[in-house]
Amino acid sequence: MFSRAVKAIADAEVFIITAGAGMGVDSGQPDFRGHEGFWNAYPAYAKLGVCFENLSTPYHFIDDPHFAWGFYGHCVNMYRETIPHEGFHIIQKWIEQKNAPYFVVTSNVDGQFQKAGYDEDRIYEVHGSLHWLQCQTLCTKSVWTNTHTVQVDFETMRAADPLPVCEYCGKSCRPNVLMFGDWTWLSQRAEAQKRAMDAFLAENAERRVVVIEMGAGAAIPTIRAKSERFGNELKHATVIRINPREPEIYEPNISIACRALEGLKQIDSALTELVGSAAGLD
């Protein structure tokens, strides 16, 4: 499978990078699936019997904002401190070597692609971003950058005052991310990003595209479905799915059952060899 992945990347004129929570794992971020893993990472929630799905709801921002911001404030702090792993830069190197057009599509809300140096105008954050805020009461449709730092007591996972407030009405605000059962997420920033992606797809529809998918889970298959759609709808596209536990994808797409960083490193060293041996033939 690695040799086919290497060939798909060597032949590619255009890169689409699709990523789910597993892309952050090699940078040291937890993925939030499975009660065991989540409760090991957050003992305070184990005591309360609360899992990720219970926390990811807009209602806590109304009934108990210190509880809601305890979780989301902690995530923002963690994502601000995270250093994106080398895998982000391996793909950037491939793109730069070919001077290839690229687009990133991710359900991650952590801003790690921007942090690694990917162009903000070439990223579609399907579920929004924790680095942006919006009014909880929808007094305005504007969204604004999150510059606030919330202090969180890790023992209780509750946030201390002051909490971030709406720039317009002064009331409680929330991150501009899509939560479960969420009717108040303002999606216009994500919609503008989607329009940029659609224009990119139209421009590159006839070219050889490689879609590199990493860490996208099957439980909420938003990103997996998008990768497969790109593979089906673009004329000359191959999808490479890198995932240690859920790598399955149908042929002629390529399934690589390992962690994102390990997979990218292996492909990169095989690519370097391939380029070296091609140069040796001249």
Ligand X SMILES: NC(=O)c1ccc[n+]([C@@H]2O[C@H](COP(=O)([O-])OP(=O)(O)OC[C@H]3O[C@@H](n4cnc5c(N)ncnc54)[C@H](O)[C@@H]3O)[C@@H](O)[C@H]2O)c1
Binding residues vs ligand X (CB under 6 A) = 20-22, 24-26, 29, 31-33, 107-110, 127, 214-217, 219-220, 222, 242-246, 259-260
Residue 140 vs 222, nearer CB to Zn ion: 140
C-alpha distances in Å from residue 26, one per residue of 21, 43, 78? 10, 22, 14
Least Å distance between CB 217 and ligand X? 2
Vertex 60 angle, CA 54 and 64, to 5°: 130
Which one of ligand X, Zn ion, none interacts with residue 260, CB within 5 to 8 A by kind?
ligand X
- C-alpha 79/C-alpha 48 separation (Å) is 24
Which one of Zn ion, ligand X, none interacts with residue 257, CB within 5 to 8 A by kind?
none
> Which of these, 55, 82, 58, 47, lies nearest to 71 by C-alpha position?
55
Least Å distance between CB 27 and ligand X? 9
Which residues have C-beta within 8 Å of that of residue 53, sequence separation ≥ 6? 180
Q: Which three-class secondary structure state does DSSP give residue 258?
A: coil
Residue 189 vs 265, nearer CB to Zn ion: 189
> Which of these, 219, 266, 264, 209, lies nearest to 242 by C-alpha position?
264
Q: Which positions lie near Zn ion, rule CB under 5 A?
A: 135, 139, 166, 168-169
Least Å distance between CB 80 and ligand X? 13
Which one of Zn ion, ligand X, none interacts with residue 164, CB within 5 to 8 A by kind?
none
Least Å distance between CB 180 and ligand X? 9
